[in-house]
Amino acid sequence: MRSRRACNDAATLTTNHEPMTQRVLTGITTTGTPHLGNYVGAIRPAITASREPGVESFFFLADYHALIKCDEPARIERSRLEIAATWLAAGLDPARVTFYRQSDIVEIPELTWLLTCVASKGLMNRAHAYKAAADANLAAGEDVDAGITMGLFSYPILMAADILMFNAHRVPVGRDQVQHIEMARDLAQRFNHLFGAGRELFVLPEANVDERVAMLPGLDGRKMSKSYDNTVPLFEGGAKGLRDAIAHVVTDSRAPGEAKDPDNSHLVAIYEAFADDAERAALRAELRAGMGWGDAKARVVARIERDLGPLRERYAELIAHPERIEATLLEGARKARAVAAPFLGELRVAVGLRPMVAVAAPVLATPKAKAALPSFKQYREADGRFYFKLAAADGRVLLQSAAFESGREAGQWVAKLKTAGAMAVPDAPVAHGEGVSAQDVADALAALSAG
């Protein structure tokens, strides 16, 4: 087996990527309401990273994954709205990134099935989530698979499809998720070996674990988590909710006037996730000089509110107008499918799910001059956007595309139409030329394929 570095060097040469562009993909499971720990540990750093030059970011609401964990439709519906509003309010720029719902990308389930057909059951048996559930069943004297759904058992394959659909180079995850990235690499390697015919169809993703990401303590000093019921709300409850939560942060019993130890204070750790260097030094000095915990908590609330207040207003506006969020997600789905649909067309051809095209019987007579064929033409208009058209041999326009933001997107659709033929037309962002029938287009595409 080649080294990881060698595999990745080969992957970056695929036609799915522009040189030096790194694709980064982040999924957010829609089963809860974000809290302060989510913001500091995941949301804020991910948005900051999305602004880096040379990075193409994909952010998605993992609502198919949510179905594995939750069977409450109202909760999933509400969580999708709240999480989307949170990311947008926190500064995620839909014009800069591709922000979409997993369930809007119809290519994801199909790719999941293609990967399922190359995934070994033994690999899935080793998944941490499944092993933990199976071990718990055995410890309780139950059947090893009691209560375990196929969703839980095979969700690493769905996660692999999320990543490989967009050939992400980097996937920011916690250390507990590294195994799933390794599984995605295994599936990508096997698929490339079986169906690549010498090409690297899938990039081999890397887990991006940042040990420097803040692990914010909760009210009781343990990691902030809904599981521990120790969270500080991000937007829920407004400024009062923030004040009430911070008031419950556990501190020591030292009275005002007594020196405090900022190095062992959960309150100070929360403050320092928002403060600059000068603010951090000032609070530490005042605590050592005897500042009371009540005054310190007021300082913490004021500092966090300075950052979150404007975001909370934007969040409330978005929650009040869910149709705006819906429009943003649908536009994100359009951008995502412009990448996913042509790529899935390539994968379908690779595994043998190819269109059946009529082939003319061989002609034994004297060869004649080869007839002119229809042709695709790609071009850029004065508006800076890219287009393509399918022209007949006589120059008639058979198909005219919509506008694309990049020439690569236009080229991917041209490739899919050439490969899949008339089957690809219903999903393509194209319009028929004046007086052109579907059969005219099908004949032209078939002629191109045969030629």
pLDDT of residue 451: 63
Residue 6: pLDDT above 50?
no
Q: State the average pLDDT over residues 191-197.
A: 95
pLDDT of residue 31: 83
Q: Are residues 133 and 15 part of one domain?
A: yes
Residue 262 belongs to domain with CATH number = 1.10.240.10
Domain housing 150: 4-209+321-343
Residue 140 belongs to domain with CATH number = 3.40.50.620
Q: Are residues 306 and 384 part of one domain?
A: no
According to DSSP, the β-strands at 386-391 and 397-401 are antiparallel
Residue 425 belongs to domain with CATH number = 3.30.160.160
Q: What are phi and psi of 170, to 5 degrees?
A: -125, 140
Residue 269: pLDDT above 70?
yes
Residue 15: pLDDT above 60?
no
Residue 134 falls inside a structural domain: yes
pLDDT of residue 143: 95
C-alpha 427/C-alpha 311 separation (Å) is 38
pLDDT of residue 360: 60
Q: Which helix (H) or strand (E) covers residue 294, if one does?
A: helix 293-320
Amino acid letter for position 450: A
C-alpha 438/C-alpha 446 separation (Å) is 12
Which pair of structure tokens corresponds to residue 324? 């705006």
Enumerate long-range contacts of 4-9, CB under 8 Å, 24 or more apart: 4/204, 7/189, 7/200, 7/204, 8/169, 8/203, 8/204, 8/206
Q: Are residues 326 and 309 part of one domain?
A: no
Q: Are residues 250 and 170 part of one domain?
A: no
Beta bridge partners of 28: 61
Q: State the average pLDDT over residues 128-147.
A: 94
Residue 308: pLDDT above 50?
yes
Number of structural domains the chain divides into: 3
C-alpha 151/C-alpha 67 separation (Å) is 8
Residue 17: pLDDT above 60?
no
Q: Are residues 70 and 50 part of one domain?
A: yes
What is the edge-to-edge ordering of all strands in the sheet holding 55-62?
A: 98-101, 55-62, 22-29, 170-172, 206-208
Which pair of structure tokens corresponds to residue 447? 């002629």
Q: Are residues 334 and 308 part of one domain?
A: no
Helices (runs of H) and strands (runs of E) counted in the chain? 17, 9
Residue 61 falls inside a structural domain: yes
Q: State the average pLDDT over residues 15-44.
A: 78
Given CA atoms 288, 289, 293, 297 in this order, what sign does their dihedral have? negative
Residue 264 falls inside a structural domain: yes
Residue 12: pLDDT above 50?
no
Comparing 315-324, 343-352, 418-427, which segment has the lowest mean pLDDT?
A: 418-427
Domain boundary (310, 343, 376) is at: 343
| 10 — pLDDT class (breaks 50, 70, 90) | very low
Q: Are residues 332 and 315 part of one domain?
A: no
pTM for the whole structure: 0.69
Contact between 142 and 202 (Cβ < 8 Å): no
Q: Are residues 247 and 275 part of one domain?
A: yes
Comparing 113-122, 210-219, 298-307, 419-428, which segment has the lowest mean pLDDT?
A: 210-219
Among 342, 336, 341, 343, CA closest to 57: 336
Residue 352 falls inside a structural domain: no
| Mean pLDDT, all residues of the chain | 88
Burial of 417 (0-12, 13-18, 19+ CB in 10 A): buried
Beta strands in 184-312 (DSSP E): 206-208
CA dihedral 421, 423, 426, 428 (to 10 degrees): -40
Residue 85 falls inside a structural domain: yes
Instruction: Give the number of residues written for the chain.
Output: 451
Among 62, 131, 55, CA closest to 93: 55
C-alpha 373/C-alpha 451 separation (Å) is 8
C-alpha Rg value of the chain to the nearest Å: 27
Q: Are residues 269 and 128 part of one domain?
A: no
Residue with tokens 């951090």: 280
| 362 — pLDDT class (breaks 50, 70, 90) | low
Q: Which helix (H) or strand (E) covers residue 22, if one does?
A: strand 22-29
Q: State the average pLDDT over residues 75-84.
A: 94
Which pair of structure tokens corresponds to residue 209? 């674990």
First vs last C-alpha separation in the chain? 39
Q: Are residues 69 and 20 part of one domain?
A: yes
Comparing 88-102, 133-147, 222-236, 328-342, which segment has the lowest mean pLDDT?
A: 222-236
| 11 — pLDDT class (breaks 50, 70, 90) | very low
Beta bridge partners of 56: 23
Residue 277 falls inside a structural domain: yes
State pLDDT tens for residues 139-181: 999 999 999 999 999 999 999 999 999 999 998 887 778 899 9
Residue 217 falls inside a structural domain: no
pLDDT of residue 34: 87
Amino acid letter for position 246: I
Could you tell me what percent of the chain has a pLDDT over 90?
A: 63
Q: State the average pLDDT over residues 225-250.
A: 90
Residue 27: pLDDT above 50?
yes
pLDDT of residue 163: 96
Q: Which helix (H) or strand (E) covers residue 377, if one does?
A: strand 375-380
Q: State the average pLDDT over residues 177-194.
A: 94
Q: Are residues 122 and 91 part of one domain?
A: yes
pLDDT of residue 214: 58
Q: Are residues 64 and 15 part of one domain?
A: yes
Residue 142 falls inside a structural domain: yes
Could you tell me what percent of the chain has a pLDDT over 70?
A: 91
